[in-house]
Chains A and B, each alone.
Chain A
Amino acid sequence: NAGVTQTPKFQVLKTGQSMTLQCAQDMNHEYMSWYRQDPGMGLRLIHYSVGAGITDQGEVPNGYNVSRSTTEDFPLRLLSAAPSQTSVYFCASSYSKRDSSYNEQFFGPGTRLTVL
């Protein structure tokens, strides 16, 4: 299993540009989520999904869109990038909390995004 994969690893954008951060998992996990990590702020939840076709907002959703058309993929879209979105982005996945197999969240390696 590849686990949770994220692409790209690094990205530089100009203000106003759009882009999609890709996240995929091959563990048949129902739950997927996106976090951003900023110095001194820990990891903050952007959006999450409890299954294909279902998404919900986290703590800091503004400026980001998500969709979950398949169990495997959970892309994060920046519609019009702003310097405040400069951050490291982590995708995570897990079994449903109601599943006896639930044990932890698995994290991808992260995407480092800079918005100029």
Chain B
Amino acid sequence: AQSVTQPDIHITVSEGASLELRCNYSYGATPYLFWYVQSPGQGLQLLLKYFSGDTLVQGIKGFEAEFKRSQSSFNLRKPSVHWSDAAEYFCAVDDLSGNTPLVFGKGTRLSVIA
């Protein structure tokens, strides 16, 4: 069965520093890949997605992610973090060969300090 691993449970960065959140998936073919963000007490907001084509995808709020097939990874990056980026981030994978919906990683909680 496919799985999604987010190795970092909690990351703390300083405001203005760069950010990279890791995501690895286990699946034979290239699935659709997503990053969602959830602010405290809120629902899920789609940051970006990868279906095919250019392996570097741009999303909202200045985020980008790079798909690396050889590493089965889809890491999320932002060059300069703002305090409002403090939230929980979820990587998700969509198995295109079946009917099952998204499989989510366990999430990475981002804290931003001054």
- Per-position binary interface string of chain B over residues 7-40, scored 1 when its CB falls under 8 Å from any chain A CB and 0 otherwise: 0010000000000000000000000001000000
- Per-position binary interface string of chain B over residues 87-114, scored 1 when its CB falls under 8 Å from any chain A CB and 0 otherwise: 0001000101001111111110000000
Contact-residue size bin, chain B (C-beta under 8 Å from the other chain): 20 to 34
* A90 & B43 in contact (Cβ 8 Å cutoff): yes
* B49 & A103 in contact (Cβ 8 Å cutoff): yes
- Is A92 at the interface (CB under 8 A from chain B)? yes
* A48 & B104 in contact (Cβ 8 Å cutoff): no
- List A62-102 residues whose CB lies under 8 Å from chain B: 90, 92, 94, 97
* A48 & B34 in contact (Cβ 8 Å cutoff): no
* B43 & A107 in contact (Cβ 8 Å cutoff): yes
Q: Closest residue of chain B to A32, judged by CB?
A: B101
Complex CA–CA separation, A110 to B49 (angstroms): 22
> Which of B42, B46, B51, B105 meets A42, CB within 8 Å?
B105
* B9 & A40 in contact (Cβ 8 Å cutoff): yes
Give the shortest distance, in Å, between A4 (CB) and chain B (any CB): 9
- Is B44 at the interface (CB under 8 A from chain A)? yes
Contact-residue size bin, chain A (C-beta under 8 Å from the other chain): 20 to 34
A42 and B104 in contact (CB under 8 A), knowing A90-B43, A107-B44?
A: yes
* A43 & B104 in contact (Cβ 8 Å cutoff): yes
A45 and B100 in contact (CB under 8 A), knowing A40-B106, A97-B94, A107-B44?
A: yes
* B101 & A105 in contact (Cβ 8 Å cutoff): yes
Complex CA–CA separation, A58 to B43 (angstroms): 21
A33 and B9 in contact (CB under 8 A), knowing A40-B106, A104-B34, A107-B43?
A: no
User: Given the complex, which residues of B lie within 8 Å of A56, measured CB to CB?
Assistant: 99
* B105 & A33 in contact (Cβ 8 Å cutoff): no
